[in-house]
Amino acid sequence: MKTTGYIVKPNVKLELSKYKTDDTGNFKNKNEAEKDLTNNIEEMQKLHDKLYAEDKFSILLIFQAMDAAGKDSTIKHVMSGLNPQGTSVVSFKQPSAEELNHDYLWRCNKALPERGRIGIFNRSYYEEVLVVRVHDLINNQKIPAQLLPPDIWKERYRQISDYEKYLYENGTVILKFFLHVSKDEQKKRFLERIDKQSKNWKFSEADIKERQYWDEYQKCYEEALANTSKKHAPWYVIPADHKWFMRLAVSEIIIATMKKMPIDYPHLDKEQLARLQECKKVLENEK
């Protein structure tokens, strides 16, 4: 499956309206895609096993989206079957008083995956150039007024890119997914959450309020993605109207990236191999 069309080119103006939300690539329906998703998940399990055993690289997957785009279910499906010991998922909500007493990367930094692990950020420090911008929350953040530049967002894009480069240079591979859902599809999903008892718990009145800021959010996403998509930490705009396709596309991108990583089970040197043989003898000679 070709996913190159979903990557955001660094420093090129991005217009989300030009990215289809209902694309399904060459697939006609869910059944066709299911086999590929299952294969990808199996392959991911194998590569994850090596990543964990080697204990050198880590992988950070960032998910951002408008409400009801399917962050939770994508995370659930794509990560299914992975060794739970080697994964972590962290959701970022409104910052607490303690978090606001630190710089904005502090809480995310603490939540980064350890070496050998795949870590997922369900929302992330990107909220700092999205919700914080849309709702003008910067003044809640206790940053000294003298340090606030005229264009705080440009400054934050630079800080975030520098931070991601630092992580990359220290062994964290970063992939960022914007799950691109249409406004109509969001409405359909909200209505389903209201009508279906089993989905009632997912509905929040606040979601309706945020929906009124749709255009502002899209603009902030466009600017943020264009300014922070880099070779070492690319953004992907994933069509999200068809959940089955979204999951497949995300899994394809993860697999393609993991395949390119130089990960393998640790190789023992001569001395260590000889030591293994000695241990074998001890076990075999046990009475």
Q: Which residues bind Mg ion (CB under 5 A)?
A: 67
Nearer to ligand ATP (CB atom), residue 52 or residue 157: 157
List the one residue from 13, 93, 142, 260 that touches ligand ATP (CB under 6 A): 93
Q: Do 58 and 118 touch, CB atoms closer than 8 A?
A: yes
Cα(129)–Cα(64) distance, integer angstroms:
12
Q: Where are the alpha helices (DSSP H) in the chain?
A: 30-54, 71-78, 97-100, 106-110, 131-134, 152-169, 183-195, 205-211, 214-228, 243-260, 270-284
List the one residue from 72, 88, 102, 168 that touches ligand ATP (CB under 6 A): 72
- Region near ligand ATP per CB under 6 A, out of 33-41, 54-62, 76-84, 121-129: 121-129
List the one residue from 92, 106, 168, 244 that touches ligand ATP (CB under 6 A): 92
In the region spanning residues 180 to 209, those forming contacts with ligand ATP, defined by CB under 6 A, are 204
Nearer to ligand ATP (CB atom), residue 48 or residue 156: 156
Nearer to ligand ATP (CB atom), residue 127 or residue 252: 127
Beta bridge partners of 89: 120
Nearer to ligand ATP (CB atom), residue 106 or residue 244: 106
- Region near ligand ATP per CB under 6 A, out of 17-25, 30-38, 130-138, 264-272: 130-138
Q: Do 122 and 72 touch, CB atoms closer than 8 A?
A: yes
Residue 100, interface with ligand ATP (CB under 6 A)? Answer: no
Cα(123)–Cα(61) distance, integer angstroms:
10
Token pair in block for residue 96: 């607490």
Cβ-proximal residues to 75 (8 Å cutoff; 6+ apart), any chain: 63, 89, 120, 122
Residue 95, interface with ligand ATP (CB under 6 A)? Answer: yes
> Nearest to residue 80, comparing CAs of 32, 36, 38?
38
Q: Do 172 and 113 touch, CB atoms closer than 8 A?
A: yes
Instruction: Determine the distance from the C-alpha atom of residue 279 to the mean position of all C-alpha atoms in its chain, rounded to a whole number.
Output: 43
Nearer to ligand ATP (CB atom), residue 53 or residue 131: 131
Q: Do 129 and 151 touch, CB atoms closer than 8 A?
A: no
Least distance from Mg ion to the Cβ atom of residue 182, Å = 18
Token pair in block for residue 207: 């979601």
The H-or-E segment that residue 61 falls in is strand 58-65
Which one of Mg ion, ligand ATP, none is in contact with 93 (Cβ closer than 5 to 8 A by kind)?
Answer: ligand ATP
Least distance from ligand ATP to the Cβ atom of residue 70, Å = 9
- Region near ligand ATP per CB under 6 A, out of 33-41, 122-130, 187-195, 269-277: 122-130
Nearer to Mg ion (CB atom), residue 34 or residue 210: 210
Task: Tell me the pairing of strands 58-65 and 87-91.
Answer: unpaired
Write the binding mask 23 to 62 for ligand ATP: x where contact by CB under 6 A, - elsewhere: ----------------------------------------
Residue 123, interface with ligand ATP (CB under 6 A)? Answer: yes
Residues that bind ligand ATP (CB under 6 A): 67, 72, 91-95, 123, 127-128, 131-132, 137, 204
